[in-house]
Chain A
Amino acid sequence: MTQIELRGVQKFFGAVQVIKDLNLKISDNEFIVLLGQSGCGKTTTLRAIAGLETIDEGDILIDGKQVQHLKAADRDIAMVFQSFSLYPHMSVYENIAFPLRAMRKSKSEIDQEVRSVAKTLQISDLLAKKPSALSGGDMQRVAIGRALVRRPKAMLMDEPIGALDAKLREEMRAEIKRLHIKQGSTTIYVTHDQIEAMSLADRIVIMHEGVLQQVGTPDEVYSRPANLFVAQFVGSPVMNVADAAVAEKASVASVIVGDAPTGFEFPRTLLSKLNGHASGSLALGIRPEGVLIRRDAADGFMAVETQIVEPLGSFDIVDLKVGSNMLRARTKSGFVAGPGEKVFARIDPTQAHFFDKASGKSLEVRL
């Protein structure tokens, strides 16, 4: 029932502009993840929506109403902090009850709400404890409980599981997702972890140096990155990016990576789709799973030498030497035994991305 809209938001810290002309529309019940490196302005954006930070220009609208001049308390938004921000002198019960008590709700109503939220989050047996006696995961559950208890218009989460260890993070991630599906409220979630973003988001908003780079579903962001930054930020292992030149060769197009002696074969239509960007300012992006390798020579495959192999359990990442560049390929585990092996590789044209090197923008070439 809550839409949030940012219109031309600008924010300066002194001379540094941390948010640059941000426009974003978040629809009801949507789970939005703001993704970016630290210092990209994502947390500032979140705090601006919460009312903890003023903005210098632009409008923030909640349900169509301008709120940028309202105090945090008047925006009816809940927030979960990275540092949990539990009140250390209060028990878990009192922590969760705090927002309700602050609004002078009746005792029985508060008790009922607190217990029901505690049950949802499975922390009923912790209600009497102090935050200092809780584990990190439980502290986060309490912080989420405190945010949920008053049924806010929207939930904001600032790296809520960033302070937890890896295993717990995965658990909490699933829990947050389950909770969102069950409770369904407009949620804005800030993280620098692209896996978290991919797994949680309905739509991901990628920011870099205060500028919005791309907004889209996890799939869109992954398979159709709008620019080089998004391409390299989203996805693990990281996408291969290399300077490339395209040449016409017989009935095919040949994409030469860096200073490699020969090129990879691409369909001829590439030439027309590149629309004149054929050489000089072109960068090829290919995810490791788009680099196909086989042991025996075949049509269109190029002979390459393997360098290091990183076994990652379910798959291996193999570095292939292509000219002076490295191309990382994803293979079945154990496919390549070690460095110095000769294998044959090609690039899957449907998974290739072409970027304009100067602007970093994707050329939107789909094959």
Chain B
Amino acid sequence: MVVSVLNTLDPQSRAAARGWSDLTIRNIFIIPTVLFLIVFNIFPLIYSLGYSFTDFAANRNVPWSFVGLQNYRDLLADQRIWTNFVITAKYVIVSVGGQMIIGFGIALLLNRDFPFKGVVTTLLLLPMMLSAAVVGLFWQLLYSPSWGPINYILGLRNFGLLSDADTALYAVAITDIWMWSPFVMLLSLAGLSAVPKHLYEAAAIDRASSWYTFTRITLPLVAPILMIALIFRTMEAFKTFDLAYVLSVQPTTELIAIKLYRLAFQQWDTGRSSALAYIVLIMVLAITNIYVKYLNKVKER
């Protein structure tokens, strides 16, 4: 059995017998992927850009007309859209900030030898592997004002963290922190273990305090990988939809992605929602660009 598998893998037999060159084999692997990307990613991307300049509505069979930049103008002038952006910004700062601090903190704790380190690390990674919808449903139960353990522990009685307009966004952010801190932890752990041990020894010999060693040796050397975690998490948090959608119906938790969803699939304002999607895309690109510039600077040092 094994021998026959090896035989089919042998370049002397099949591929060669069919007259395939390395180039042919490479193309066989690449072309389907490229086709898939063009059909499902690049074509819709360009097509939706076209929609964003029209008043097209996908659920009505009426002729649409070209409206130029009208959609963009309306959206950017709409106060409610800006409210959504502010909510999103708040959410990104709180949730990504929390994830960075907690994730890096846990990584620092894990970056040493202790029994069952592998098991502990894997268990800590679990939240990240769950589906956001499932996490949302469970945390809804945890936050439940009538019998949720969080209210019980905090002594909040019937105060609904998720149903209060002021706290709902933070409650969602906390859930997101719980879910995604492990991601930051994982990357930080990789960064921390890449710092050579002998540098810490040199610092100890140089009589650096542990705080001085942390700020002058550990942080600068882990900074590039922390930046990458920050970029990923910011991009993801910016387009959060599922978690907030499942957890809360408060208008104060209407993130830009939820607004976009309502615009596109509840109001069926396809043209305008395409325009909004592009505004979001440009914003994410801009933020990412700032980070990447900074990342390159950090790497240069």
Interface residues of A (CB under 8 A from B): 50-52, 71-74, 76-79, 81, 83, 85-89, 98-99, 101-103, 146, 150
Contacts and interface: CB of A to CB of B under 8 A. Distances in A.
Given A52-B201, A85-B199, A102-B209, 14 more contacts: A52-B205, A72-B204, A73-B204, A76-B207, A79-B202, A79-B205, A81-B202, A85-B201, A85-B202, A98-B203, A99-B207, A102-B208, A102-B212, A102-B216
Contacts of A98: 203, 206, 208, 216
Interface string B153-174: 0000000000000000000000
Interface in B184-231: 196, 198-199, 201-209, 212, 216-217, 220-221
Most buried by A among B201, B205, B208, B209: B205
A79 B204 CA distance: 10
B221 A89 contact: yes
B293 interface: no
B199 A50 contact: no
Contacts of B297: none
B301 interface: yes
A132 to B, nearest CB: 11
A50 B201 CA distance: 10
Contacts of A150: 206-207
B240 to A, nearest CB: 34
A85 B204 contact: no
A146 B198 contact: no
Contacts of B198: 81, 83, 85
A102 B207 contact: yes
28 contacts: A51-B204, A51-B205, A52-B201, A52-B205, A71-B204, A72-B204, A74-B207, A78-B205, A79-B202, A83-B198, A85-B199, A85-B201, A87-B199, A87-B202, A87-B216, A88-B221, A89-B221, A89-B301, A98-B208, A98-B216, A99-B206, A99-B208, A102-B206, A102-B207, A102-B208, A102-B212, A146-B202, A150-B207
Nearest to A103: B207
B212 to A, nearest CB: 5
Given A52-B201, A81-B201, A102-B212, A87 B207 contact: no
A321 B203 CA distance: 56
A72 B201 CA distance: 9
A60 to B, nearest CB: 15
A74 B198 CA distance: 18
Interface residues of B, number: 18
A98 B202 CA distance: 10
A134 to B, nearest CB: 16
A9 B297 CA distance: 49
Chain B interface, DSSP helix/strand/loop, else mixed: helix
Interface of B: 196, 198-199, 201-209, 212, 216-217, 220-221, 301
The 9 closest A-B pairs by CB, nearest first: A102-B208, A85-B202, A99-B206, A72-B204, A73-B207, A85-B198, A79-B205, A89-B220, A89-B301
A76 B206 CA distance: 8
A11 to B, nearest CB: 17
Contacts of A101: 212, 216
A128 to B, nearest CB: 13
A146 B204 contact: no
Contacts of A87: 199, 202, 216-217
A51 B201 CA distance: 9
B221 A50 contact: no
A18 B205 CA distance: 23
Nearest to A47: B201
A69 B205 CA distance: 15
B221 A52 contact: no
A52 B203 CA distance: 11
A72 B205 contact: yes
B248 to A, nearest CB: 43
A89 B299 CA distance: 9
A310 B209 CA distance: 56
A101 B301 CA distance: 19
A52 B204 contact: yes
A266 B18 CA distance: 84
Given A81-B201, A85-B199, A87-B199, A146 B206 contact: yes
B226 to A, nearest CB: 14
A78 B208 CA distance: 12
A73 B204 CA distance: 5
A99 B209 CA distance: 10
B198 to A, nearest CB: 5
A102 B199 CA distance: 14
Contacts of A72: 201, 204-205
A102 B205 CA distance: 11
Contacts of B220: 89
B220 to A, nearest CB: 5
A91 B301 CA distance: 9
Contacts of B221: 88-89
Contacts of B216: 87, 98, 101-102
Contacts of B206: 78, 98-99, 102, 146, 150
- Most chain B beta carbons < 10 A, residue from A71, A74, A77, A83: A83
A50 B205 CA distance: 7
A63 B217 CA distance: 31
A102 B202 CA distance: 12
Nearest to B195: A88
Interface centre among B206, B216, B301 (most CB of A within 10 A): B206
